[in-house]
Amino acid sequence: MPEKKKWTADDMPDLSGKTIVVTGGNSGIGYEAALEFARKRADVIIACRDPEKARTAAAQISASSPGARVEAMELDLSNLASVRGFADAFHRGHPALHVLCNNAGVMAIPYRLTVDGFEMQFGTNHLGHFALTGLLLDRLLATEGARVVNVASGAHRMGKIRFDDLQWQKGYRKWMAYGQSKLANLLFTFELQRRADASGAKLLSVACHPGYAATNLQAAGPRMSGSSMMESLFSVGNSLFAQSAAMGALPTEYAAVAPEVHGGDYIGPDGIGEMWGHPVKVGCSAAARDTAAAARLWEVSEQLTNVHYTL
């Protein structure tokens, strides 16, 4: 029996008329996904904290794909006022939203607080995207076939939702905090699908992870800590062992547009340990499927962000 063909970006359908938002689309897997969406003729919005970097990325994509429709918009997920500002601007200019790719994030950084007083990884990776999705929910629900794609990580398996200390005020461990934020991404994904199903909304909520991909994400923490040695080690590891950012973006692209994707799916690479390879449906930890924890996290997230979903 012939081996099933592995999915690549060339397998994406034509996306003409589709509007896709990619947070953190200025670099790494977000950039690669935005590039491929634009190549398939989607209207792509690169949402980035640094407007100049967003404009540069948009110009590069437009240059590589003549006729591509790419827009740069400012979005700082660590600042809820910025999230609301982005949502307001999006509403003024866009009547539909077919795919929201919640891709941007930070990893294993020194202890920092967001503008709103949240631990930076939890505040950016989870709460910022939770608020953004809620504020754009009306556009998603009004768009046929809309999807929310949350980029998680294999690191969710070491995560635990510390409801008694979500902001790590009792002792900070950067990798455990990262794991908590990525577990929160999955709990949010599955709870959003449950609530959409219960309300009869035709919305797909899907998660994915890139495996081990060579991006700037790994170096950010060491750079913030002033550790040039660790930054160099991550750089060497990326060059020797990581797959390309383009390969790492495939699960995002597949989750966003493949017709065989269902709500609640989790997509990752098909290689050993889900570190490399082409996108397939993968498993997750039992903690990620904890419905009670997901419901509790949802309630807490609404309280912390003051964004209340209409589902």
Please list the active-site residues: 178
Q: Which of 194, 104, 91 is nearest to 137 (CA)?
A: 91
Q: Which of 95, 42, 99 is nearest to 71 (CA)?
A: 42
Q: Which of 150, 132, 273, 121 is nearest to 209 (CA)?
A: 150
Reported residue count of the chain is: 311
Helix (H, G, I), strand (E, B) or coil at 227: coil
> Residues 6 or more apart from 147 whose CB is under 8 A from it?
98, 99, 100, 203, 204, 205, 206, 255, 256, 261
What burial letters (b/e) apply to 220-250, b meaning 16+ CB within 10 Å?
Answer: bbbeeeeeeebbeebeeebeeebbebbbbbb
> Residues 6 or more apart from 4 whose CB is under 8 A from it?
none
Structural contact between residues 187 and 152, judged by C-beta atoms closer than 8 angstroms: no
Structure token pair of residue 66: 């003549």
Among the residues of 40-173, which ranges form H helices? 51-64, 80-93, 120-121, 129-135, 137-141
Structure token pair of residue 49: 């904290």
Determine the Cα–Cα distance for residues 143 and 140; give it in Å rounded to an integer: 5
Angstrom distances, CA of residue 168 to CA of 85, 97, 178, 283, 303:
28, 35, 11, 28, 18
